[in-house]
Amino acid sequence: FPDLDLCDLHEPTAEELVEEALALEEAAQAVPGVTTPGGASASHGLTGFVLATSAGFRGTMTVTRHTRYATAIAGTGTGMERDFWGASKTHAADLPDLAEIGRIAGERAVRRLNPRQVPTTRTTVWYEPRAAAGLVGHLLGAINGSSIARGTSFLRHRMGQKLFRDGIHIVDDPLKARGLGSRPFDGEGVAARPLTLVEDGVLRSWLLDSATARELGLATNGRASRGIGSPSPGSTNVTLAPGALSAKDLAKDIGTGFLVTDLIGQGANLVTGDYSRGASGFWIENGEIAFPVSEVTIAGTLEQIFAGMQPADDLDDRFSIAAPSVIVEGLTVAGR
């Protein structure tokens, strides 16, 4: 099997993790305007996996996970706002500095103070990387072999068709060194291989395990994920390739629009493709952040969003779904 460097030999003690969590809280609370830390966590885990199949496959792998998070609360009373920041890595050495995590959490909370609502309008929506990763997650759900085989995905008849703009590429790579979703083989013992999901805007692959592949008259592409039950299709390390322009340059082109920093609820219907999610973030005027916004809803369809996505160059690879900021024109932002 390929050496993917998924096991960190350093195992922190419980006392060290407590000290790191306290340092995260201290860094968040040091930001002017933060009234109290909202909690912090520092964790380490090690998982061993042994797979033996009736077809004669034998394989093992060991994976470690280091996670650091900080939450900060700004304001008082009914005017309180909160936000968080963090990262998860297979190796502790790859984590951001604790002071940086806490500082970003605090700054994000403070800048959300005194939000407003905006009138209902059709406008351009800028999803920051954390929110954009959710859009990629909706695509992964819609191309999951289980949904395709059951006929419960709005993309079930779209294989080989153009869903995105020219130049959009989305790849699932289980062989990424130190990747959070990396693995040398899948949950059925099939060798791991990179898989192109979207190529130049065209949908190229479903996520398939053996069972769903048979139902569809296809061959598995090594995407079986296994817990304590039967395997089912899933992704590994998915990356939406970044674009050429910076997020600030794209924002200048927006003029007026809505920057999404947080999404609320599960308002994406993968059967119909309808999309409606609560959101908060910032209103953009003349390409610059004007004021914080809360209690609004973004509405449209996933097909519309996919077709309009324009990625920036600020790829965020802290998690198993890596995405840059993306801008989508013509969505409805429902406010007052």
The residues near 3 (Cβ < 8 Å, ≥ 6 apart) are: none
Query: What does the pLDDT read at residue 336?
Result: 74
Query: What does the pLDDT read at residue 226?
Result: 87
Q: Which tokens belong to 5?
A: 């460097």
pLDDT tens per residue across span 104-135: 999 999 999 999 989 999 999 999 999 999 99
CA atoms within 13 A on the CB side of 312: 23
Query: What does the pLDDT read at residue 88?
Result: 96
**Chain CA centroid to CA 237, Å:** 10
Instruction: Identify the weakest region by mean pLDDT among 13-27, 169-183, 238-252.
Output: 238-252
pLDDT tens per residue across span 63-114: 999 999 999 999 998 889 999 999 999 999 999 999 999 999 999 999 999 9
Query: What does the pLDDT read at residue 273?
Result: 97
Nearest to 208 by CA among 132, 272, 153, 144: 144
Length of the chain: 336
Query: What does the pLDDT read at residue 247?
Result: 83
Over residues 42-66, the mean pLDDT reads: 94
Give φ, ψ of 330 to 5 degrees: 80, 25
- Exposure string of 182-205, with b = 16+ CB inside 10 Å and e = fewer, is bbbbbbbbbebeebebbeebbbbb
pLDDT band at 36 (very low <50, low <70, confident <90, very high): very high
Is residue 25 a contact partner of residue 70, using CB atoms and an 8 Å limit? Answer: yes
